[in-house]
């Protein structure tokens, strides 16, 4: 009998869109004509809990248990009738099904309010007078967070909207604490999860259940689900894969984990899943599995003798989101941060442009692992085919390309293909701030639907950028972020503090560089995080090169990725955390640029040594680089008409040509000498995006000079041509 597999995303990841792993695997199995199903128990638990019936049960549970509540939680409990009355309409609003409710929410007379509403007086500066629905979503999110606070205090201390029992999974060197928690009586949330899991088992009748566990916050609920399945459906085989086991469980040896699971797979899931199904069908031996842990006679065994290679990107198929309740996800606005808004608001189809990272050299990154190390780009045509399939399936034109760092050449080619196919899409992705992103390339990306990029500035120090091996400099970052901003693409910067040997002076200098980037308006969003050493990064593999000492050198029996380390030559990095975050929040809202950096810290910090005009100078004083002769030339503007006329000057008559372009906003007219105008008009069809092969700058120069006997460089830099350069004539 062939196996029937059910892929499950356990609670909790994102509220606004499905985590894509199960859709990727289902799409892959579709391409092999293998039936599968999927469900997102995260969103289903949230919707069951935050409903009128769910809150009735929740408040009844609290009443029965009669815990001692804080003043804030007691207030929420006392207003339970109002929460039960309002919860279903609020959820509908967050599902974009009940927009009229925004008016009364913003009036302040509809939602019951507890502590999360303490700082809402100044929301108008964040959302403005035109942001009615955004403001309502933010207030509705605060309303849910108030309820979450009550749940954490009175019902389940592990609860969190985008993570569940995350502390138990993070840096769990041994399985002891997780195992103990799993043996405790089921919590209210556990019971809700079990009820929904049973419904899915009865609906799909799987023989295999595969949990995707991308984060520590999904681990507990995956194991809890496995525990329930072992008890009630012992014949079902249980698999776990995803980002958490890929990084944390590569050396697992504790057999107790397999009381809840049967198999753990590592890295890309397509080949291991396919071969596991063959094994369960009796078509191969256990040792012929691929990157799979199992337990045999009380000992954890790693099976990886399969000769089959991983699946090429061209053969993985398009993600398949069927079975998932796409219209029921929640668009929440947790904090007033432009990039975090993209993460949590709106439905995004997830796709990957390339497997692995085309750079793959950053010393803080897990570059030794397959998901980073093995770089394999997809073809542009297959990517666009998948985009079209997903638009047809989901009805959504929003795409988040979830690459570690999207390759610039592939982004450029994809943008051309999107425009060529006349697709209406909106997309964003993660990049490196490298020199390939010229202003013209950024304009092309914008035309194809790119609205935002996020990139790792990491440490705003050239010395540390060199140690990190980021391959960029601060001055180049300034120019590239300016290119994106000038093209109308939002820029989010990932910022790191606490890298080995980083001094207090470098931390403060980094902060000032960040301040100047925001003040110059070339980044619009950012987030500071403290450096964490991982076992699979160059820093973790060779700590001596970075002058740090690893403290937890013993290999644990469960998770072995996060490394605790001493940085004897650096500063006390954790001291800077609050000040960095506070300053960034203000800079994102154009506040406090003129304030001394000392303002943000409650301890003495050094004065910055960065020039006050460093970023502005870097933007304005870039060296002139001549156009590459092999660069492609593209015209993105409208079609042209040409009109010939004569211009008289001092009794001389000059034959002229006037070209008029109908663009989206207005008509653009330029005047050229007649031979130049004729030549340009004749070249425009060749410069169209419809052509698979565009002419090069060198080819245009040769053609122009042969036809007009004029100097092409002078013509190219003339005022009329510069106007075209600003309105869709791009050098790529």
Burial code (b: 16+ CB inside 10 Å, e: under 16) for 529-551 equals eebbbbbbbbbbeebeebebeee
Residue 656 DSSP symbol: E
The percent of residues in the chain predicted with pLDDT above 90, rounded, is 69
Torsion of CA 502, 507, 513, 516, to 10 degrees: 170
Contacts 24+ apart (CB under 8 A), 595-604: 597/508, 597/511, 597/512, 597/515, 600/511, 601/575, 601/576, 603/575
Torsion of CA 463, 467, 470, 472, to 10 degrees: 20
Q: How far apart are CA 197 and CA 39, in angstroms?
A: 9
Q: Is the pLDDT of residue 551 over 90?
A: no
Q: How far is CA 446 from each of CA 57, 431, 450, 476, rounded to the nearest angstrom?
A: 49, 15, 5, 20
Q: Is the pLDDT of residue 128 over 60?
A: no
Q: How far apart are CA 673 and CA 659, in angstroms?
A: 11
Model confidence at 127, pLDDT cuts 50, 70, 90, reads low
The predicted structure's pLDDT at residue 674? 93
Condensed to tens digits (0 to 9), the pLDDT of residues 674-702 reads 999 999 999 999 999 999 899 999 999 99
The predicted structure's pLDDT at residue 462? 85
> Of the candidates 273, 276, 301, which has an alpha carbon nearest to the alpha carbon of residue 288?
276
- Please return the burial class of 472, using the count of CB atoms within 10 Å of its CB with bins 0-12, 13-18 and 19+: buried
Q: How far apart are CA 507 and CA 560, in angstroms?
A: 29
Strands (DSSP E) contained in 459-567 are: 490-497, 525-530, 533-534, 549-550, 562-563, 565-566
Model confidence at 341, pLDDT cuts 50, 70, 90, reads confident
Q: Is the pLDDT of residue 382 over 80?
A: yes
Q: How far apart are CA 243 and CA 257, in angstroms?
A: 17
Q: Is the pLDDT of residue 253 over 90?
A: yes
Q: Is the pLDDT of residue 666 over 60?
A: yes
The predicted structure's pLDDT at residue 422? 95
Q: Is the pLDDT of residue 167 over 70?
A: no
> Of the candidates 485, 483, 467, which has an alpha carbon nearest to the alpha carbon of residue 435?
483
The predicted structure's pLDDT at residue 51? 97
Condensed to tens digits (0 to 9), the pLDDT of residues 508-527 reads 999 999 999 999 999 999 98
Q: How far apart are CA 629 and CA 426, in angstroms?
A: 32
Q: Is the pLDDT of residue 130 over 50?
A: no
> Would you kindly state where each structural domain of the chain is located, as residue ranges?
5-43+163-315, 48-154, 348-617, 633-731
Lowest-confidence region among 342-346, 439-443, 598-602, 728-732:
342-346
Q: Is the pLDDT of residue 171 over 70?
A: no
Section 407-432 average pLDDT: 95
Q: How far apart are CA 408 and CA 421, in angstroms?
A: 20
Q: Is the pLDDT of residue 178 over 80?
A: yes
Phi, psi of 661 (to 5 degrees): -115, 125
Section 261-289 average pLDDT: 96
Q: How far is CA 80 from each of CA 55, 114, 258, 272, 664, rounded to the nearest angstrom?
A: 8, 12, 41, 48, 53
Contacts of 718 (CB under 8 A, 6+ apart): none
Q: How far apart are CA 567 and CA 573, in angstroms?
A: 9
Q: How far apart are CA 314 and CA 580, in angstroms?
A: 43
Q: Are 354 and 377 in contact (CB under 8 A)?
A: yes
Q: How far apart are CA 644 and CA 655, in angstroms?
A: 7
Query: Could you say which architecture CATH assigns to the domain 348-617?
Result: Alpha-Beta Horseshoe (3.80)
Q: Is the pLDDT of residue 170 over 80?
A: no
Condensed to tens digits (0 to 9), the pLDDT of residues 48-63 reads 999 999 999 999 999 9
How much is the pTM? 0.90
CATH classification code of 5-43+163-315? 3.40.50.2300
Section 212-229 average pLDDT: 95
The percent of residues in the chain predicted with pLDDT above 70, rounded, is 96
Q: Is the pLDDT of residue 129 over 50?
A: no
């Amino acid at each position: 009998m062939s196996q029937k597999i059910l892929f499950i995303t356990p609670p909790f990841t994102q509220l606004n869109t499905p985590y894509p792993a199960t859709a990727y695997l289902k799409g892959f199995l579709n391409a092999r004509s293998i039936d599968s199903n999927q469900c997102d128990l995260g969103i289903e638990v949230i919707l069951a809990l935050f409903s009128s019936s769910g809150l009735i049960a929740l408040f009844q549970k609290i009443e029965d248990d009669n815990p001692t509540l804080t003043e804030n939680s007691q207030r929420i409990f006392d207003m339970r009738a109002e929460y039960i009355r309002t919860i279903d309409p609020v959820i509908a609003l967050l599902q974009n099904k009940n927009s009229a409710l925004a008016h009364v929410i913003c009036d302040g007379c509809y939602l019951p309010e507890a502590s999360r509403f303490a700082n809402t007086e100044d929301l108008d500066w964040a959302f403005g007078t035109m942001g009615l629905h955004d403001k309502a979503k933010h207030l509705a999110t605060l309303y849910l967070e108030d309820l979450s606070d009550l749940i954490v205090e009175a019902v389940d201390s592990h609860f969190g909207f985008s993570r569940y029992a995350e502390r138990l999974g993070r840096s769990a060197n041994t399985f002891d604490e997780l195992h103990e928690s799993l043996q405790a009586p089921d919590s209210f949330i556990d019971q809700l999860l079990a009820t929904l899991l049973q419904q899915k088992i009865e609906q799909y009748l799987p023989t295999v259940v595969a949990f995707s566990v991308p984060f520590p916050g999904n681990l507990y609920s995956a194991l809890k689900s496995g525990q329930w399945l072992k008890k009630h459906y012992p014949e079902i085989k249980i698999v776990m894969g995803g980002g958490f086991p890929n990084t944390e469980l590569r050396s697992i040896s504790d057999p107790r984990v397999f009381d809840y699971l049967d198999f753990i797979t590592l890295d890309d899931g397509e080949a291991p899943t396919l071969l596991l199904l063959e094994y369960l069908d009796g078509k191969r031996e256990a040792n012929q599995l691929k990157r799979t842990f199992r337990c045999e006679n009380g000992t954890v065994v790693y099976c990886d003798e399969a000769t089959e290679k991983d699946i090429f990107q061209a053969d993985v198929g398009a993600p398949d989101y069927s079975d998932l309740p796409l219209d029921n996800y929640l668009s929440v606005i947790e904090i007033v941060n432009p990039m975090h808004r993209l993460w949590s608001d709106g439905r995004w189809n997830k796709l990957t442009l390339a497997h692995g990272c085309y750079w793959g050299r950053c010393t803080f990154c897990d570059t030794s692992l397959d998901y980073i190390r093995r770089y394999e780009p997809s073809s542009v045509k297959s990517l666009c085919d998948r985009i079209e399939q997903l638009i047809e399936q989901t009805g959504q034109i929003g795409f988040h390309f979830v690459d570690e760092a999207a390759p610039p050449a592939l982004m450029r080619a994809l943008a051309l293909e999107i425009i060529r196919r006349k697709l209406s899409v909106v997309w964003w992705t993660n990049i490196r701030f490298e020199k390939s992103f010229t202003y013209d390339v950024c304009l092309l990306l914008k035309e194809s639907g790119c609205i935002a990029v996020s990139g790792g500035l990491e440490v705003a120090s050239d010395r540390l950028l060199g140690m990190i091996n980021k391959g960029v400099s601060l001055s180049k970052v300034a120019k590239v972020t300016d290119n994106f901003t000038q093209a109308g693409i939002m820029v989010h910067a990932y910022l790191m503090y606490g890298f080995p040997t980083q001094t207090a002076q470098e931390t403060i200098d980094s902060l000032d560089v960040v301040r100047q980037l925001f003040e110059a308006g070339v980044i619009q969003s950012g987030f500071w995080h403290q450096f964490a050493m991982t076992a699979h990064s160059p820093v973790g593999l060779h700590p001596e090169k970075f002058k740090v000492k690893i403290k937890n050198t013993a290999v644990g029996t469960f998770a072995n990725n996060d490394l605790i380390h001493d940085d004897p030559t650096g500063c006390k990095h954790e001291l800077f955390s609050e000040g960095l975050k506070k300053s960034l929040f203000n800079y994102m809202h154009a506040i406090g640029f003129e304030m001394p950096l000392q303002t943000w810290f409650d301890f003495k910090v050094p004065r910055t040594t960065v020039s006050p005009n460093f970023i502005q100078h870097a933007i304005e004083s870039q060296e002139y680089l001549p156009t590459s002769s092999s660069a492609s030339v593209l015209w993105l503007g409208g079609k042209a008409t040409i009109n010939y006329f004569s211009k008289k000057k001092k009794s001389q008559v000059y034959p002229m040509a006037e070209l008029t372009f109908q663009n989206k906003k207005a008509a653009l007219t330029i005047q050229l000498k007649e031979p130049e105008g004729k030549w340009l008009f004749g070249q425009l069809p060749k410069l169209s995006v419809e052509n698979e092969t565009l002419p090069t700058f060198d080819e245009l120069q040769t053609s122009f000079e042969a036809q007009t006997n004029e100097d092409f460089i002078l013509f190219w830099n003339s005022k009329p041509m510069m106007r075209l350069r600003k309105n869709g004539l791009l050098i790529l």
